[in-house]
Amino acid sequence: MALMITDECINCDVCEPECPNGAITQGAEIYVIDPALCTECVGHFDKPQCVEVCPVDCIPLNPDVVETKEQLHDKYLTLIHKKAAM
């Protein structure tokens, strides 16, 4: 599953720079996570870095984007190849 940021977000700005895939951006009111870019840090870290640094625990799994660890790893590889081609 990709992660999501709930409306408990306090816009503290600590999650965005921690995302190795650039999946976190400032939305209209709170930060948002692009599920097409979120790999839950699979391929980069053992745990999602945004979850690790979030002071209000507002980054749960997104139930609308169900992915296995293998799918997340495949997405990671695709993102890495795209980045390398740039």
Residue ranges per domain, the chain?
16-85
- Phi (first) and psi of residue 69, to 5 degrees: -60, -35
Q: Which helix (H) or strand (E) holds 81?
A: helix 69-85
- The rounded percent of the chain whose pLDDT value lies above 90 is 93
Provide CATH code, domain 16-85.
Answer: 3.30.70.20
pTM score:
0.93
Q: What is the pLDDT of residue 1?
A: 77
What's the mean pLDDT in 45-67? 97
The answer to whether 4 touches 50, Cβ cutoff 8 Å, is no
pLDDT mean across residues, the chain:
96
